[in-house]
Every structure is written in C-alpha cells, then in structure tokens.
Amino acid sequence: MALRSEDTIVAIATPLGVGGVGIIRLSGKEALPLVDGIFRPAGGSSLAQAESHHLLYGWIERDGRPVDEVLAVAMRAPRSYTREDVVEVHCHGGTMVLRTVLEMAIHGGARLAEPGEFTLRAFLNGRIDLTQAEAVGDIVRTRSSLGLQVSANQLRGRLYEEIGALREQVAHVAARVAAGIDFPEEDVVFAHREEIVSKLESVRTRLATLLSRAAQGRIVREGLAVAIVGRPNVGKSSLLNALLRENRAIVTEIPGTTRDTVEEAAEIGGLMLRLVDTAGIHRTEDVVERAGIDRARGAIERADLALLVLDGAERLTPDDEALLGEVDPAATLVVVNKQDRLHGAQPEWIGKLADFAWVALSALTGAGLQEMEARICQWALSDDRPALEDALITNLRQEQAARNALQAVEGALQAICRGLGDELLAVDLQRVLFDLGDIVGETTADDLLNRIFAEFCIGK
C-alpha cells in the first residue's frame, strides 16, 4: 500500500454483526475535529477539550437527530497506538449503526483505512518494530494458548531486544574494522583480533540458537499440521473424533467411508493441531478412491507430523507394510489402535515398529489418548514446557533473514582466518547488519511490507 500519512483514516475495529459494543477507530490530525463534528457530549464540552485517554458519554447525531448513544475517547499523539491523534467511538454493536457512523466519518473527510494501516502507521512512526507488528497480527489470528503466549511475548519486544543486542556487537566490530581501513598503519584488526573473533563467534552462536528453535516458534504460531493416515477401516476417523471430543467424521464398519480429506482444528496442551483425516490408502482401481488416496499422500507431504494408524487387533496387511515403508520415521507417530480388543496385550508384529515412535490407543474408549497427546506435544516442542520467555523466530521471513545474517557472520570469520583484506571483512559485516535489520524491519523492502500488512484485518 502507498502510505498517505497526511490522511485521517477510519475503520470499524470490531467484527460486524450483533454484539454489545462496536468500535469505530480514527487516526490522523483531523480525527479530533472530525468526531467533534458528529459527537455531542452530555456534559457540553467538546472532545477536543477533554483530557486524553478519558471516556466521554454522549450521542452521535446527524442533522440534529440522534443516531446512537455512545462513549468516545481521544488518545492524543504521541501516546497512542499509531503515535498520531487517535479517536475511538464505542457504539452499540450492530451492523447498521456502525456503518452509519463510519459513513458519517468518511463524509466528514476521513478515508477508509486499508488492511493493517493502523499498525503500519505504528511501525513507520517508530512505536513498534516489524516483529512486534507481526505479533499484533498473530495475536488477532491465534487459536491456541501457547500461540497467544508467544505472540504476547513477541509484542513486548523480546526478539527485537535480542536482535538489537546482536547488532550492537556487530556494529562494535564494524567500527574497529573501519578504523583499521582509515588508519592502516595502526593494524587495528590484528591488534584486536581476539576481541573481534570472540564477538563474532558469540553472534554466530546466538543466531544458531535462534534458528534451532525456529521450527518450534513456527509451530506454536501456526499450529502443528497433522495428517491422520492408514489403510481403510483402521480407525482414522474415530481417532479424529477422539481428538476433537466430538463426532465430526462419519464412522462405520464399511471400508472406504472417508473418500476425501476432512480438516479440523483442536488444542492440546496449549498447542493448536491442524488435523487432516484422510482416505484409506490401499491398492484400488476405483477412480474416486484413487483421487482420495492421492490427496491423502499429498497431506502426508505437507504435514509436520503423520499419525499412522494400524489395527492392533489384526495382522499387518501388505497395505500397512507399504505405508510403513513410505512414511518418514522421524516425522511419524504410529498409533496402534483398537487396544480395547487386545485386553492389554501387544500385537505379535510390534517388533516391526523398531524404527518408529509408537503409542497404544483405543480411539473407541479413549484409553491411551492422553499419552498420545503428550507424545505429540513432546515431538512438536521437544519439551512439554518450552521457554516461552525466550526470543523466538516465528515465521519464514524472520528465519530467512536470520540465516542470511548467520551466513554473513561465518563469511566474516573466514575472512579473518584467511587474512583477507579489511575491506572484504567490512563488506561481510555490513551484510550482517543489513540482514539483522531486515528481521526487525529497519531494512525491509516496501513491497514486502505491503504484503505483510495486507494480511491484517481492516481496523487493525
């Protein structure tokens, strides 16, 4: 989006529909006088005269006629979300009243905000960095308690602080190298070689640590993609229903009941699972079944984790064995289902699962379900209680920028070891600073910023 910072923008900041409260939000230098033109405080004084961040009671009026009984609040710059004058009008929550007040604000000179424009202004005005802006969007979209904790921690600036500390160390080294270039007779880099190497190795270690937890951060933010797979009639749909604690998928004794993927979401241990129940994978000449099987295999490829369901009360079939040969043991948890028919015994073929993590379960009775859920969380997070207060990389944009920075740090260390010129070392250090700046948005291209903020809802 092209930023028009001189405009006063307006949007409905709450979901449309019937509710107790609906909020109209404005930001810009004309926000206060514009609302004063349509708001009549009960006490008689204008909103412009009111103290900042104090609610006023009154009415929205059009042509002298009441529209709605409201509360209005002015949040004056720079103590506002956007660091501009911000006004919120708290109306009754109804589609007609919100649209009417929105139209009145636009008629008064405001422009309808674009998606994410309030947060974009907060970013461009220096109130938040790009990682915090992304955290705002994550908080709005998150569907799990762990995702909320990580996003809130990100919003507090934990990753920004970590990247800032790394940039400070690299900037210190870059200053030493620049001094060496300006005063070659002093041989500054050689004189401070141990200090420079120590700082760069520290930066490399900290970047490597961040990257090692990037997958965990992404899973907590986006949820764990889980494909439930197996041959027909082993209990895949029953397992989905057990995880959801409701009868979402049709369950029958007839093989092939599920012919397409069924996608649902469930929260376990604070982690959101994006569950995909798939068609039974087996040899068939049926065109419809083959289409469902192709989709099932595609779900396995896209998933973070596959739950491969086997019928513990029966012998392994060729289809079972083929699936065990197809899936990646490192990204698969085998579920030995129908334990209610085994009465505590193990299948005679259990030794064939030596390369796999597996769990015994009865999707029908729920026995073993909690253990399976704990194993899923442990696989996803490496620990049942991740250190959520630590800085976490939570998306691919941040991860790629961090990898670029790590590559540049390693290049700088190699330049020192090989005794290359200070000018080449300085280039690598500038690359590190640029890539670290990219993480927090200080060197991010405008087209990428547009894509990031376009994912926000209007009003945020």
Of 129, 153, 186, which closes a domain?
Answer: 129
Residue 455 is assigned to a structural domain of this protein: no
Higher pLDDT, 286 or 426: 426
Higher pLDDT, 383 or 286: 286
Q: How many domains does one find in the chain? A: 3
Residue 135 is assigned to a structural domain of this protein: no
Looking at the fold, whether 298 and 361 belong to one and the same domain comes out as yes
Looking at the fold, whether 230 and 362 belong to one and the same domain comes out as yes
Higher pLDDT, 28 or 253: 28
User: What are the pLDDT digits (tens) for 375-394?
Assistant: 999 898 875 444 556 788 98
Question: Running DSSP on this structure, what letter comes out for residue 259?
Answer: -
CA distance linking residue 97 with residue 148, whole number of Å: 32
pLDDT value at residue 188 = 53
Mean pLDDT confidence for 285-301: 81
- Phi/psi of residue 430, nearest 5 degrees: -65, -35
Looking at the fold, whether 232 and 343 belong to one and the same domain comes out as yes
Q: What average pLDDT is seen over the chain?
A: 87
Looking at the fold, whether 318 and 193 belong to one and the same domain comes out as no
Of 75, 103, 129, which closes a domain?
Answer: 129
Residue 12 has pLDDT above 90, yes or no: yes
CATH number at residue 124: 3.30.1360.120
In 303-381, where does DSSP find H-type helix?
Answer: 318-326, 369-381
Confidence at 286, pLDDT banded by 50, 70, 90? confident
CATH number at residue 177: 1.20.120.430
Name the nearest CA neighbour of 373 among 291, 454, 267.
267
Looking at the fold, whether 226 and 179 belong to one and the same domain comes out as no
Confidence at 254, pLDDT banded by 50, 70, 90? very low
CATH number at residue 345: 3.40.50.300
Residue 139 is assigned to a structural domain of this protein: no
Looking at the fold, whether 195 and 256 belong to one and the same domain comes out as no
pLDDT value at residue 36 = 95
ω before 41 within 30° of 0 (cis)?
no
Looking at the fold, whether 18 and 109 belong to one and the same domain comes out as yes
Of 68, 102, 129, which closes a domain?
Answer: 129
User: What are the pLDDT digits (tens) for 268-280?
Assistant: 888 899 999 888 8
Among 24-38, 335-349, 359-373, 442-456, top mean pLDDT goes to: 24-38
Mean pLDDT confidence for 224-239: 90
Looking at the fold, whether 304 and 330 belong to one and the same domain comes out as yes
User: What are the pLDDT digits (tens) for 43-92?
Assistant: 878 898 999 999 999 999 999 899 999 999 999 999 999 999 999 999 99
- Category of 344 on φ-ψ map: left (φ > 0), alpha (ψ -120 to 50) or beta: left
Looking at the fold, whether 98 and 196 belong to one and the same domain comes out as no
Residues found in the chain: 460
For 329, the domain range is 220-381
Residue 264 has pLDDT above 80, yes or no: yes
Provide the whole-model pTM: 0.79
- Category of 160 on φ-ψ map: left (φ > 0), alpha (ψ -120 to 50) or beta: alpha
Looking at the fold, whether 26 and 44 belong to one and the same domain comes out as yes
Alpha carbon distances (Å) from 254 to 237, 251, 257, 258, 323:
12, 8, 6, 10, 21
